[in-house]
């Protein structure tokens, strides 16, 4: 089960609306082609993990969902799943937020004896199960092992180190913290996106085998861009009194 023990950071509606508008505008700028679907990743792929880092898993998912839905309307060329494309962005934001705002260990037991999972772990589990429901998925085991495995490792590293990095007065430590959270969140969102891609487009196994190598490098670049944008933006907004980013004393989302 997933349990929220403390209050989620409050987000001013105006700030959430502005960020959702930025995410929507990001859909107008295609970045990389998506193999086998005829669509394109957009700049919003860089912004979605920042939604989760800035506003938490639920607030970030809401911002990316609204921005992604509007973006699908104004830039259908980047909406490879049609109006449902926002689901992937929202999942990415949610997963990244759970990683950035979560704690170690990712799985624990409460006083009642119930297991409590970090939301990011749940997304990965669901994505892996969905992958193996498809025949092509069962035949291309290398993709979840390599691609999802790298994302899961990044998530674990982020859960261990990012709370200290985000809390540190040293600005340089924010760079690896955001990269790890973004990389883990982007691949978490991809676990759901890949399932829909399998169902909708049924790409041949050879493409998925290539993606096992290509996709991690692609997400690493997206995470790098999120890091380069996110650190100065988070620092600047906080200096202006606009609170964004993990506050571990306010949130314990597991």
User: What number of other Cβ atoms are within 10 A of residue 202's Cβ?
Assistant: 11
- Return the bridge partners of 117, or none: 107
pTM of the model as a whole: 0.90
Angle between helices 149-167 and 174-201 (to 10 degrees): 150
* Contacts for 144 with CB less than 8 Å, ≥ 6 apart: 128, 131, 132, 137, 191
pLDDT tier for residue 111 given thresholds of 50, 70 and 90: confident
- Return the bridge partners of 107, or none: 117
Q: Are 229 and 163 contacting, i.e. CB atoms less than 8 angstroms apart?
A: no
Scan for tokens 């921005």, then name that residue: 67
Select from 3.10.450, 1.10.10, 1.10.1760, 1.20.1250 the CATH code of 13-239.
1.10.1760
Residue 112 or residue 32, greater confidence: 112
What is the per-residue pLDDT for 69? 96
Q: Are 56 and 97 contacting, i.e. CB atoms less than 8 angstroms apart?
A: yes
Model pLDDT for residues 115-165, shown as the tens digit of each residue: 788 999 999 999 999 999 999 999 999 999 999 999 999 999 999 999 999
The rounded distance, in Å, linking the Cα atoms of 91 and 128 is 14
**Dihedral sign for Cα atoms in the order 24, 28, 33, 35:** positive
27 secondary structure, DSSP code = T
Scan for tokens 């790298």, then name that residue: 150
Q: Is the pLDDT of residue 253 over 50?
A: no
Q: Is 9 helix (H, G, I), strand (E, B) or coil?
A: coil
Range 174-201 average pLDDT: 96
The rounded distance, in Å, linking the Cα atoms of 189 and 120 is 10
The rounded distance, in Å, linking the Cα atoms of 136 and 194 is 11
Domain boundaries, the chain: 13-239
What is the per-residue pLDDT for 249? 44
Model pLDDT for residues 14-63, shown as the tens digit of each residue: 888 999 999 999 988 866 666 555 566 788 999 999 999 999 999 999 99
């Amino acid at each position: 089960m997933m349990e929220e023990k403390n209050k989620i950071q409050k987000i001013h509606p105006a700030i959430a609306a502005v960020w959702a508008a930025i995410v929507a505008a990001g859909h107008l700028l295609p970045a990389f082609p998506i193999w086998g679907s005829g669509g394109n990743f957009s700049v919003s792929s860089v912004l979605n993990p920042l939604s989760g880092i800035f506003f938490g898993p639920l607030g970030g998912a809401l911002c990316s969902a609204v921005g992604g839905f509007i973006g699908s309307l104004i830039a259908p060329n980047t909406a490879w799943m049609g109006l449902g494309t926002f689901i992937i962005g929202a999942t990415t934001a949610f997963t990244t937020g759970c990683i950035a705002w979560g704690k170690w260990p990712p799985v624990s037991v409460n006083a009642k004896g119930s297991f409590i999972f970090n939301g990011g772990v749940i997304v990965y589990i669901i994505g892996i199960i969905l992958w193996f429901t498809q025949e092509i998925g069962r035949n291309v085991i290398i993709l979840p092992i390599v691609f999802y495995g790298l994302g899961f490792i990044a998530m674990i590293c982020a859960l261990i180190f990012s709370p200290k990095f985000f809390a540190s007065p040293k600005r340089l430590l924010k760079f690896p913290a955001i990269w790890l959270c973004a990389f883990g969140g982007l691949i978490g969102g991809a676990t759901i996106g890949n399932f829909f891609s399998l169902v909708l487009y049924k790409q041949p196994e050879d493409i998925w085998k290539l993606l096992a190598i290509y996709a991690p490098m692609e997400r690493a670049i997206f995470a790098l861009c999120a890091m380069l944008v996110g650190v100065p933006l988070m620092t600047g907004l906080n200096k202006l009194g606009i609170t964004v980013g993990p506050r571990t004393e306010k949130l314990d989302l597991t």
